[in-house]
Amino acid sequence: MSFTLLPAIDVADGQSVRLTQGQASSPSAHGDALDTARSWQAQGAEWIHLVDLDAAFDRGSNAELLAAVVAELDVRVQLSGGIHDIDSLEQALDTGCDRVNIGTAGLHDLAWCEQAIARHGERVAVALDVRVDETPDGSVRHRLAPRGSSREVGDLWDTLGQLDHGGCQRYVVTDVSKDGMLSGPNMELYRTVTGTTSAAVIASGGIATIDDLVTLARAGRRAPNLEGSVVGKALYEGRFTLPEALQEVALATAPEP
């Protein structure tokens, strides 16, 4: 099996930035988005997770820049950010990216999501931004809410069931509380999601160390639909390099002798 790492490039005002828990305030810039993308490509990335934060927060668009980045790269691109209706979906697909990621905000209209999935198949993934809350009686709720927003759009399990029925082939699953916090991934969430759906699952949020990635990759041995992880802040802060991570994940997923 293989486990794919997708370095994240979050773009705001034309710059590559990093945020915490999806919050748009005071992002720290990391330079030109195209230069960043070329760097990840040169370091061995096979996929890049490219996000238009301005579109995601409905405060503008970097569409032309992102299209230029996609056109310049030889690696595959998963494009995300502000994709929540037919116009934004078609604009994203027209860049020539390999896959678009329908934002959690788009889940207020599941019928439209199902139509997009039916029409575009493998080129559409769905973002599931999850808020995990304990209720007063001790039970746990898994609610869907776009990062940076307090607005909930549904229950994780109900939505997952409906999208599965609609033919969704891939989900990008984020525990919002972990996003950008360098506190480790929510393994229980990924175990439960991969056990509930047969669709592919890409983990996102919380990666702090190579050991976190190795843990996810080894979990993918038991749940082959856990196919990869988005990696962001840990790379930008130098916790490890992409070549180091790729090497250790390859070792963790190599066939046993």
Q: Identify the active-site residue in 10, 52, 54, 179.
A: 10
Kindly report the length of the chain: 257
Give the angle 211-213-215 at the CA atoms, nearest 5°: 70
Is there a contact between 182 and 212 (Cβ–Cβ < 8 Å)?
no
Q: Tokens standing for 101?
A: 């990621």
Residues 6+ apart with CB under 8 A from 166: 110, 113, 114, 117, 118
DSSP states of 221-256: HHSTTEEEEEE-HHHHTTSS-HHHHHHHHHHHHSPP
3-state secondary structure of 196: helix
Quote the CA–CA distance of 107 and 144 in Å, as a whole number.
Answer: 9
For the question of residue 52 being annotated catalytic, the response is no
166 secondary structure, DSSP code: T
For the question of residue 94 being annotated catalytic, the response is no
Q: Identify the active-site residue in 129, 175, 179, 212.
A: 129
Residues with catalytic roles: 10, 129
